[in-house]
Amino acid sequence: MNEFQRDLPLSREPYRDIAARLGVEEETVLTLLRRLQASRIVSRVGPVFTPNRLGVSTLVAAKVPPDRLVEVASLINRCPAVNHNYEREHHYNLWFVVTAPDQAELDRTVAGLEKQTGVSLLVLPMLRDYFIDLGFDMRWPPDDAD
């Protein structure tokens, strides 16, 4: 998993290519991926594009009552336009990114999430590009020797 977070083969059959590199059957790779998705360890496999090059996106923050955090995060996670949803230790304790084909759709999506969750959302549009590594160490248990 670690290797392919940053080097997913760009081909018609990426999972077959991964299997060949690992020396296993394609179905083994697909079975593992389905298992990781079912257990919610992996939520998405796909490219990450430079923000606002294809459509629009924005960071959103929410102040969610602690007793509703799991419920609200679950509602937000169901929205296909949302990614990078995570809890923070801050009074704005839930942060996520919303993407859309255009600004009007982005605004509708955010308004819909506000209505659905009953939580006010703070929209934080990007003013400057920052490029960070979105990969996560997928070894379990993590190797503390690094």
The residue among 51, 99, 127 whose CA lies nearest residue 110 is 99
Residue 110 placed within a domain: yes
Residue 131 placed within a domain: no
Residue 66 placed within a domain: yes
Tell me the residue range of the domain where 12 lies. Answer: 2-38
The residue among 42, 121, 31, 11 whose CA lies nearest residue 76 is 121
pLDDT bracket for residue 49 (50, 70, 90) = low
Mean predicted confidence (pLDDT) in 136-143: 65
Residue 83 placed within a domain: yes
pTM over the 0.85 mark: no
| CA separation for the pair 116, 71 (Å, rounded) | 11
Buried b (16+ CB within 10 A) or exposed e, 73-90: bebbeebebbbebeeeee
**Side-chain half-sphere of 86: how many Cα atoms within 13 Å?**
5
Q: Quote the number of domains for the chain.
A: 2
Instruction: List, for residues 25-35, the tens digit of each pLDDT value.
Output: 999 999 999 99
Contact between 82 and 94 (Cβ < 8 Å): no
Residue 135 placed within a domain: no
